[in-house]
């Protein structure tokens, strides 16, 4: 079993100093990985801690040179709000700068207002996630052509370098919806549910394993919240998680 820590790149306590402190302590105490959380432009009074948030990708560029051993991940990147070619370049760059320590989970996103503010289509986000995952892998494999109607992308004889240091950079699929579970089986290397409260975990695993026979062999990498202050947290996401 391996353990990772979500760094404070969001919320009132987020700061460069807090990011550095958590990263150093995680490395010192033997944690396996550090994770950023992803949002871009949340509506005011959203009821979430994500209105103040450091960018999930570029924060890893800060964490890379101040750590040596821990792996660096995003949990979970809302790729349907972004240009996936730019994302492919950013992530390949991070993996090179971090000497092959990048980890990645991708989610479909849930805040329709955030998508609207960014000019992104919320309704077809699932299809764009699927196409974006295929695009990432194609570029990282060195393919020079790709066409996708849903992404509005069509290029031929293009050059994409550098490739990630990792030859087969794993992509986990975040989310607890049926669509996310199916995506984890068909396109993902692992399933990455955000489970809160923890007593939901057993049922979620059973639901995931029932998706298809292939789901029984997929790794499950769980994100959970631990309240170290011993008091009930008032925050829940719109999904109740």
> What pLDDT is recorded for position 239?
45
Query: 4-170 domain in CATH 3.20.20.30?
Result: yes
Q: What is the pTM of this model?
A: 0.91
| Residue 183 near residue 212 (C-beta atoms within 8 A) | no
Region class of 62: left (phi > 0), else alpha (psi between -120 and 50), else beta = alpha
Q: Is 53 helix (H, G, I), strand (E, B) or coil?
A: strand
User: What's the Cα-to-Cα distance from 209 to each of 7, 190, 219, rounded to whole Å?
Assistant: 30, 12, 11
Locate the DSSP E strands across the chain: 4-6, 33-36, 71-78, 102-107, 146-148, 153-155, 172-174, 190-192, 219-220
pLDDT tens sequence for the chain (241 residues): 999 999 999 999 999 999 999 999 999 999 999 999 999 999 999 999 999 999 999 999 999 999 999 999 999 999 999 999 999 999 999 999 999 999 999 999 999 999 999 999 999 999 999 999 999 999 999 999 999 999 999 999 999 999 999 999 999 999 999 999 999 999 999 999 997 677 788 899 999 999 999 999 999 999 988 777 655 444 444 443 3
SS3 172: strand
Domain ranges of the chain: 4-170
Burial class (CB within 10 angstroms; exposed 0-12, middle 13-18, buried 19+) of 189: middle
């Amino acid at each position: 079993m391996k353990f990772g820590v979500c760094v404070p790149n969001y919320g009132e306590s987020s700061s460069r100093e807090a990011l550095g402190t958590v990263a150093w302590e995680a490395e010192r105490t033997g944690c396996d990985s550090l994770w950023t959380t992803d949002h871009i432009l949340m509506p005011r009074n959203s009821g979430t801690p994500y209105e103040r948030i450091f960018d999930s990708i570029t924060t890893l560029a800060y964490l890379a040179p101040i750590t040596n051993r821990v792996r660096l991940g995003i949990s979970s990147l809302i790729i349907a709000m972004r240009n996936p070619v730019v994302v492919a370049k950013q992530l390949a760059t991070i993996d090179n700068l971090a000497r092959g320590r990048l980890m990645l989970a991708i989610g479909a996103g849930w805040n329709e207002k955030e998508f609207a503010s960014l000019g992104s289509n919320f309704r077809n986000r699932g299809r764009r996630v699927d196409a974006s995952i295929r695009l990432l892998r194609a570029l990282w494999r060195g393919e020079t052509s790709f066409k996708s109607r849903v992404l509005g992308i069509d290029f031929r004889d293009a050059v994409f370098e550098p490739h990630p240091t990792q030859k087969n950079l794993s992509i986990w699929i975040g989310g607890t919806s049926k669509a996310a579970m199916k995506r984890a089986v068909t396109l993902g290397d692992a399933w990455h549910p955000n489970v809160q409260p923890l007593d939901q975990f057993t049922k979620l695993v059973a639901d995931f394993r029932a998706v298809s026979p292939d789901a029984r062999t997929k790794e499950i990498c769980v994100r959970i919240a631990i309240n170290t202050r011993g008091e009930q947290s008032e925050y829940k996401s719109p999904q109740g998680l």
